[in-house]
Amino acid sequence: MNVNSKYFVVAVISLSLFGGCGGSKELEKPKPSAGTEMNEHEKDFRPSDYDMDVKVFLSEMKKEKDVKAEPAEPVVVEPMIVMPGYRVQLFATPEIDDANAKRVEAEAAFPGEWFYLEYDPPNYKLRAGNFLNRNDADSYARYLAENGYPDAWIVPERVVKNIPPRVIPPPQELSPPKQ
């Protein structure tokens, strides 16, 4: 290949690269018109309507500061010990919504117990408890059978040995927003 043909090839490649990089009117974003719906809402918006009185703001800030100033008790977290044990199975279904509904129902009926929702294809299984021996699991299964879950049965499973008791926080009252 001679020198002139090399220059020609380089020139053709350069022109094709630079020519292909031009903008296109198809790619430009349309500009919003002046009468859009958002502009209509913005006309009536007054940020000062949402301002809080300075005295109220300062008193709330002081309350938050006082709450934060109290020293918190140190939380001691023990490592979980998992070992072979038993749980009581209450329910099995292929529908996640049915399983969640049963879990909510069971947690309301037995607020101190731990409930576990496990997926073992194709079913979701609702199980309760962390029992280290079969006798405890059997007595709890009988208790559940007497209280609305007649099909409860014991299943061997790895359970948590040192799990704390389940504490249900009291319901919080919803207060209207301050203006």
* The pLDDT of residue 1 is above 70: no
What is the chain's mean pLDDT, rounded? 79
* The pLDDT of residue 37 is above 60: yes
- Chain segment 83-107, per-residue pLDDT in tens: 999 999 999 999 999 999 999 999 9
Alpha helices (H) in the chain, listed in sequence order: 3-20, 37-44, 54-69, 96-109, 134-146
Residues 94 and 169 sit within 8 Å (Cβ to Cβ): no
* The pLDDT of residue 175 is above 60: no
H or E element at residue 84: strand 82-93
Distance CA(130)–CA(87), nearest Å, equals: 6
- Segment 65-79 mean pLDDT: 67
Residues 6 or more apart whose CB falls under 8 angstroms from that of 96 comprise 124
- How does strand 123-131 pair with strand 153-160? unpaired
H or E element at residue 92: strand 82-93
- Segment 61-81 mean pLDDT: 70
H or E element at residue 126: strand 123-131
- Chain segment 100-156, per-residue pLDDT in tens: 999 999 998 888 889 999 999 999 999 999 999 999 999 999 999 999 899 899 999
Q: Which residues of 67-103 are buried (b: 16+ CB within 10 A; e: fewer)?
A: eeeeeeeeeeeeeeeeeebbbbbbbbeeeeeebeebb
Distance CA(129)–CA(34), nearest Å, equals: 63
Q: Is 176 exposed, middle or buried, given 0-12, 13-18 or 19+ CB atoms closer than 10 A?
A: exposed
Q: Higher confidence at residue 17 or residue 122?
A: 122
* The pLDDT of residue 172 is above 80: no
Prediction pTM value: 0.51
